[in-house]
Amino acid sequence: MVPVSYNVRSLLVRKVTTIVTALGIALVVFVFAASRMLTEGVNAAMATSGRPDTVIVLRKGSDNELSSGLPMDAVAKLRAHPQVSQAAGAGAIGELVQVVMAPHEGGSGEVSNVTIRGIPEDGIAFRPEVKITSGRAPKPGTNEVVVGKAIAGRFKGFEIGGTVELRHNRPLSVVGIFDAGGSSYDSEVWCDREFMGQTLGRTGNVSSVRVRLNSASDFEAYRREIEGTANKDFAAKVQREADYYRDQSAQIGTFLKFIGMFFAIMFSLAAMIGAAITMNAAVAHRSREIGTLRALGFGRFSILFSFVFEALLLAVAGGVIGSIAVLGLSFVTFPMMNFQTFSEIVIRFHAAPSVFIWSLVFALVMGLIGGLVPAIRASRVSPVEAMRA
Q: What confidence tier does 88 reach under pLDDT thresholds 50, 70, 90? A: low
DSSP 108: -
- Concatenated DSSP letters of 225-291: HHHHS--SS--EEEEEHHHHHHHHHHHHHHHHHHHHHHHHHHHHHHHHHHHHHHHHHHHHHTHHHHH
Q: Which range has the worst mean pLDDT, 12-21, 143-152, 203-212, 374-383?
A: 374-383
Neighbours of 166 (CB within 10 A): 21
* Residue 131, pLDDT above cutoff 90: yes
**What is the per-residue pLDDT across 319-340, written as a single tens digit (0 to 9) for each?**
999 999 999 888 887 777 666 6
Rg (C-alpha) for the chain, rounded Å, is 29
> What pLDDT score does 161 carry?
92
Mean pLDDT of the chain: 83
**What is the per-residue pLDDT across 287-303, written as a single tens digit (0 to 9) for each?**
777 777 777 777 888 88
DSSP 49: T
Classify each residue of 320-347 as buried b or exposed e, where b means 16 or more C-beta atoms within 10 Å of its C-beta. bbbbeebeebeeeebebebebbebbbbb
pLDDT, mean of residues 76-99: 86
* Residue 386, pLDDT above cutoff 60: no
> What pLDDT score does 233 carry?
64
CA distance 362 to 356: 10
Q: What confidence tier does 380 reach under pLDDT thresholds 50, 70, 90? A: confident
Q: What percent of the chain has pLDDT over 70?
A: 87
Read off the pTM: 0.73
**Cβ-contact 189, 148 below 8 angstroms:** yes
376 membership: H or E segment, kind and range: helix 353-379
Non-local CB neighbours of 13 within 8 Å, separated by 6+ positions: none
**What is the per-residue pLDDT across 215-255, written as a single tens digit (0 to 9) for each?**
989 999 999 888 876 566 678 899 998 888 878 777 776 77
**What is the per-residue pLDDT across 171-225, written as a single tens digit (0 to 9) for each?**
899 999 999 888 889 989 999 999 999 998 888 899 999 999 999 899 999 998 8
CA distance 38 to 26: 18
